[in-house]
Amino acid sequence: MQQIRVFIVDDAQNTREDIKRFLYFEEDMEVVGEASTGEEAVSLCKDAKPDVILMDINLPGMDGIQASEQISLLLPEAAIVIISIQGEQEYLKKAMAAGARDYLVKPFTSMELAETVRRVCAFARKKRLHLVGEEKPNAKVRAKNGKIITLFSTKGGVGKTTVACNLAIAIAAESLKDVVLVDLDLQGGDVSVILNFNNVQTVADLVQEDIENDPTVTDTCLSAHFSGVNVLSAPASPEQAELVTPQHINSLIGYLKTRFDFVVVDTAPHYSEINLNVLEMSDSVVVMLAQDLPTLKHTRSTIEVLSALNHREKINLVLNRLRSDGISVKELEKSLDLALAAAIPTDDRTVLQSVNKGQPFVLGQKSSRVSECIFELAKMMSREKKTDQNTSKITAPMNPIKKLFSLSR
């Protein structure tokens, strides 16, 4: 087992002792040094060569931000975690700009500390391999022209994420091709929960990277699910999500399209610039709905917006939790002036068990009716694209929000 070398920087001795006590019980970690000032940390880290530096932000003299900037230049391979009593967005932005990989707000638990140390160290090590060319899976592989399938609804609670996870796995099983699942519900994504992923890299880890010029760094943030699907999880906190820009996502999705045969995207329930860009880049848009009036209203509005943006031909209406006491399928189709692509039956027991176990029902309960419907949807979604197969790159709209509002005038 390769030890994670940790260096602690805090002007309070009792805090340093608490952290050392926390880490003492972690078999894969060792404390290789400590410092009480920023200047001392810069000097000692050069010789200690830690994997992870726990840096308090409020230090006498040279503060944690300044010390992080200098250490990042001296030891670019080290992962810095800023520690502070402040959890404001401005502090997080400054820390990330200074080279910090993550941010812990006091007080934190021993579990939170250990998970953070392991996560940032794992990312730093994967990045080192990537930079020296030992882990570039796309280097000798011909660029793909993957199909982008986006699940969208402006109404929460329609089961979009559960369907996204199971659909991605079903597409991989049906097509026997490479599939990646991307969680772009940046502030509240649950893909990692449903797939039972802990302590993984996320979209936020790409913020500090030059993803526009070197999108291959995305590979270091992908997590492999045992089903064969690769996954890019949503940020662990809303503060980290705020750092992700539309430009990051444009580069991310554009690159994943060249690496995978299918890119399945789960989205947040609103018309953000990020979502509008992804909808523009998508080959198919799965619009989720349910059999109630509020959802019907939201779905009708969604279809109108997508149609105004010239995306109507991409729409695949999927009714989730079909039941006999809701608005009938015939009435839904008449109201929306669009036929359903699929209707997934209600099976609360199967779905709830799969979510609580962290095992998608298309793997654990293949014979269930809900699984059969997902596999049928996967067959439909995995058909060949109708677009020009010679096109290997998609360009996102310059400003889809302006486009949207200009159409509404």
Tell me whether residue 19 is exposed, middle or buried, using C-beta atoms within 10 angstroms of its C-beta: 0 to 12, 13 to 18, 19 or more. Answer: buried
The pLDDT of residue 142 is 73
145-159, 195-209, 354-368, range with the lowest pLDDT: 195-209
3-state class (DSSP) for residue 73: helix
> Please, what is the average pLDDT of the chain?
88
Distance between terminal CA atoms of the chain?
A: 62
Q: Is 395's pLDDT higher than 50?
A: no
Poorest-pLDDT segment among 149-153, 234-238, 334-338, 405-409: 405-409
pLDDT at residue 341 greater than cutoff 70: yes
User: Top-level CATH class of 147-407?
Assistant: alpha beta
Tokens of 54: 């726990």
Q: Which residue has the higher pLDDT, 216 or 307?
A: 307
Higher-scoring residue by pLDDT: 302, 85? 302
The answer to whether 49 and 79 are in contact (CB under 8 A) is: no
What pLDDT score does 391 carry?
A: 35
Least confident stretch, 41-50, 133-142, 266-275, 308-317: 133-142
Of 77 and 341, the structure prediction assigns the larger pLDDT to: 341
Tens digits of per-residue pLDDT, 23-47? Answer: 999 999 999 999 999 999 999 999 9
Least confident among 13-17, 22-26, 218-222, 400-404: 400-404
Which of 1.10.167.10, 3.40.50.2300, 3.40.50.620, 3.40.1190.10 is the CATH number of 4-131? 3.40.50.2300
Average pLDDT in the 6-17 region? 96
Q: What is the value of pTM for the model shown?
A: 0.74
pLDDT digit string, tens, across residues 241-283: 888 999 999 999 999 999 999 999 999 999 999 999 999 999 9
- Name 264's bridge partners: 149, 181
pLDDT band of 89, cuts 50, 70, 90: low
What's the confidence (pLDDT) of residue 182? 98
More confident of the two residues 107 and 396 = 107
Is pLDDT of 405 > 60? no
| pLDDT for position 94 | 77
What are the tens digits of pLDDT across the range 345-381?
Answer: 999 999 999 999 888 999 988 889 999 999 999 999 9
Question: Percentage of the chain surpassing pLDDT 70?
Answer: 89
pLDDT, tens digit, 9 for 90 and up, residues 104-119:
888 899 998 998 899 8
Evaluate whether 4-131 and 147-407 have a shared fold: yes
Give the pLDDT of residue 213. Answer: 75
Provide the strand spans (E) within 237-297.
Answer: 262-267, 284-289
pLDDT value for 104:
87
Q: What is the pLDDT of residue 120?
A: 87
Q: Domain segments of the chain: what residues?
A: 4-131, 147-407
Which residues, including other chains, have CB under 8 Å from residue 366's CB and lie 6 or more apart? none
Element (H, E) at 317: strand 315-322
Backbone angles phi, psi at 293, to 5 degrees: -65, -45
Residue 403 CB coordination number (10 Å): 15
- What DSSP element (H or E) covers 353? helix 348-357
pLDDT band at 141 (very low <50, low <70, confident <90, very high): low
What integer pLDDT is reported at residue 175 of this predicted model?
92
C-alpha 55/C-alpha 39 separation (Å) is 12
